[in-house]
Structure 1
Amino acid sequence: MKYKISEYAKLNKVTYRTVWAWVKSGKVQSELTTTGRILIVDNEVRKQTVVCIYCRVSSSENKSNLDSQADRMIAYANARGYKVDKVIKEVGSGLNDNRKKLIDLLNDKTVDVIIVEHKDRLTRFGFNYIKTLLAMQNRKIEVVNQVIDEREDLIADFTSIITSFYARIYGQRRTKRKTEQLIKKLQDK
């Protein structure tokens, strides 16, 4: 296949000047057209990156949030230049390790990139294990909203555990406020 310098630069995620330097040094094969345009000859077959967006909410009460979560992730993917192949929406606890749609996604070796809004949308615990296993298969997870502060991340994990177990015991979802009060007391001490 033949590309203009600008197309080849975009395809390889480098600058126009870098490709021009490669042409000058002979690093890439090129040819000159009769009109004086330089075309890069690239015989490499490029595999299209398969991108999947995974969205999850904890309960059916939050189901309406799935669409807005998906819309935000699609906008992110488009801004990154990805073509989204599928969007998976699931309702289930982040502590549940038997979510069918997530398991199917992780087993689908054709998916190269999985995009999630937060780490906890994929799983509450074991995120780094999943990330490492996917990396071993030349696949990756992109987290849009990364937590920068480790302390904040630990508090969020602690909150999610208490909220989840409290809800199981008492069958209520209004436990978040009580959990936040408990954490505030712990932080003050």
Structure 2
Amino acid sequence: MKAKEVLELLQISRPTLTKYVKEGIIKVHVLPNGRYDYDKESVYQLFNKGVERKTYIYARVSTPKQKADLENQIQMLKQFCFANGYSVSKVFSDIASGISFEKRKDFFRMLDDVLAGKVERVVISYKDRLSRVGFELFHHLFKKYHCEIVVMSEVGSEKLDSEEIFEEIISLLHCYSMKMYSKRKGEKIKQILSEGELPS
């Protein structure tokens, strides 16, 4: 980080910045031209000292027709946060494409807070709710500002009751379909044997 950026972020004077560097509170890298490159991690550690960092929820659907789905998505995220002991500070949501960022006003409001170091974690239901493309880029960016992206669908040990029920239904349907397949196959064999026809 440049000195100007550090001074603006921390709202300190240049002598104070020099003092922090000398005391090792803020680490620096000396560039070939002799200028300082201020270590972003140590700057944000100082910035966040004594500040309660927040948990945000972000939800998204593609079209206005999916507004009910958006509400369900938000409720499931709230339940997930409650179950995991996260106190939700804000809920952000957009009705917009996951590929284009043109109409995603809430996403950019949330991003501003992440880049300001105010957010400890952002909770989403699936990766594509944040972005259908370039998720790893956002993961890397958020990590730089000490913000974790929690993907609800990937937290295997902390499933919601509704998710467990859904998985049980799928499992039962699979078992049922296998039984039906076996039954039909058995009936076909009996029919062939009764007709005295064996496959060549």
The alignment's TM-score, normalised by the length of structure 2, stands at: 0.49
Counterpart of 2:119?
111
Of 110, 117, 129, which aligns to 1:121?
Answer: 129
Of 68, 90, 108, which aligns to 1:64?
Answer: 68
CA offsets 1:66-123 (integer angstroms, 9 cap, x no match): 1111110001111111100011121001011232211121111312210000000011
RMSD: 1.9
Q: Which runs of 5+ in 2 are unaligned?
A: 1-48, 157-200
Alignment pair present for 1:96 and 2:100: yes
Q: Share of identical aligned residues, percent? A: 31
Counterpart of 2:142?
134
Alignment pair present for 1:50 and 2:54: yes
Please say if residues 93 and 107 of structure 2, whose CA atoms lie closer than 8 Å, have aligned partners that are also in contact.
no
Give 1:143's aligned amino acid. Answer: V
Q: Secondary structure at the match of 2:86?
A: coil
Q: Which runs of 5+ in 1 are unaligned?
A: 1-44, 149-189
Please say if residues 56 and 90 of structure 1, whose CA atoms lie closer than 8 Å, have aligned partners that are also in contact.
yes
Runs ≥4 in structure 1, deviation > 4 angstroms?
none
Give 1:53's aligned amino acid. Answer: I
CA distance in 2 between partners of 1:88 and 1:51 (Å): 11
Report the alpha carbon displacement of residue 126 of structure 1 after superposing the two structures with TM: 0.5
Please say if residues 119 and 146 of structure 1, whose CA atoms lie closer than 8 Å, have aligned partners that are also in contact.
no
**Structure 2 counterparts to residues 19-38 of structure 1, below 5 A:** none
The alignment's TM-score, normalised by the length of structure 1, stands at: 0.51
Q: Secondary structure at the match of 1:63?
A: helix
Of 87, 90, 97, which aligns to 1:86?
Answer: 90
Gap change, CA 1:119 and 1:147, over 3 Å in 2: farther
CA distance in 2 between partners of 1:77 and 1:147 (Å): 12
Number of matched pairs: 104
CA distance in 1 between partners of 2:144 and 2:93 (Å): 25
CA offsets 1:137-161 (integer angstroms, 9 cap, x no match): 111110011399xxxxxxxxxxxxx
CA distance in 2 between partners of 1:146 and 1:82 (Å): 17
